[in-house]
A and B are shown apart, each in its own frame.
Chain A
Amino acid sequence: MRLDLQARAAPSRTIAIAGPILALLAAMLIGAAVVALLGKSPAEAFMAYFVAPLSESWSLQALAVKASPLILIAVGLSFCFRANLWNIGAEGQFTVGGLAGGWLALATRDGAYQGTFGGWWILPAMLVLGAMGGVLYALIPAILRVTLGVSEILSSLMLVYIAGYGLDYLVRGPWRDPQGFNFPVTANFDPEATLPSLIADGRLHAGILLTVVAVLLAGLVLSRGMFGFEVRLFGTAPKAARFAGFSERALTLAVFAISGGLAGLAGIAEVSGQIGQLQPSISPGYGFTAIIVAFLGRLSPFGIVLAGLVLALTYIGGEGAQVSMKLPLDLTGAFQGVLLMCVLAADVFTRYRVRLVREA
Chain B
Amino acid sequence: MKQYEIRLTGSGGQGLITGGIILAEAAILDGKNALQSQSYGPEARGGASKAEVIISDKEIVFPKITECDLLLALTNVACKKYLKSLKKGGILVIDSSVDKPDRDDITVYQIPIIETANEKLKKSMVANIVALGALNKILNLVSEKSLENAVLDRVPKGTEELNRNALIEGRNLIV
A associates with B: no
| Residues in chain B within 8 A of chain A (CB atoms) | none
Which A residues lie at the B interface, using CB under 8 A?
none
